[in-house]
Amino acid sequence: MRSMVQSSHGCPLLAMPSVRSTQHDGRYTILVSDDDPGVRRGLQLLLRSRGYAVWGYTTGHALLADPRAKEADCVILDYRMPDIDGFAMLRHLREIGWSGRAIMISGFHDTLLASRAAEAGFDHVLAKPLIGRALLDALDRHRAETLRKH
């Protein structure tokens, strides 16, 4: 059962039990889909500096078309994208059998969005632009859980 908690920045986070994860070259693999180049590149740089294998996508359809999407440990999906929203992206990933972690990032943050995201299967909802520390904390927990399983 997921529960909603507040991050250190006051944005809602959704906690969920661990799910299956696959390792690639010993690194936790993350796919980031955000149409804002500053957010996308910033997340890629931040996460790579922490040892994660990270790929970024300018559109949701680009992420869904990449074969890595089936094997990623985690996806970070923007709520509002020009081509497809984060909810539809996650739904498509689940339909192809992907069972990794999902984090929604959004400039629109409220309890209704957090509730909808939990129902859709997102593990966390993080507010932009203050997502850095909360995101790293969530990913570090996910990676630690994965390492304990292997």
User: In this prediction, what percent of the chain has a pLDDT beyond 90?
Assistant: 58
Backbone angles phi, psi at 74, to 5 degrees: -150, 145
pTM, two decimal places: 0.74
Domain span at 27: 3-149
Kindly indicate the confidence band of residue 135, based on its pLDDT and cuts at 50, 70 and 90. Answer: confident
pLDDT in tens, 76-132: 999 999 999 999 999 999 999 999 999 999 988 788 999 999 999 999 998 887 666
- CB contact at 8 A, 135 and 103: yes
In this structure, what CATH number is given to the domain that contains residue 58? 3.40.50.2300
Structural domain count of the chain? 1
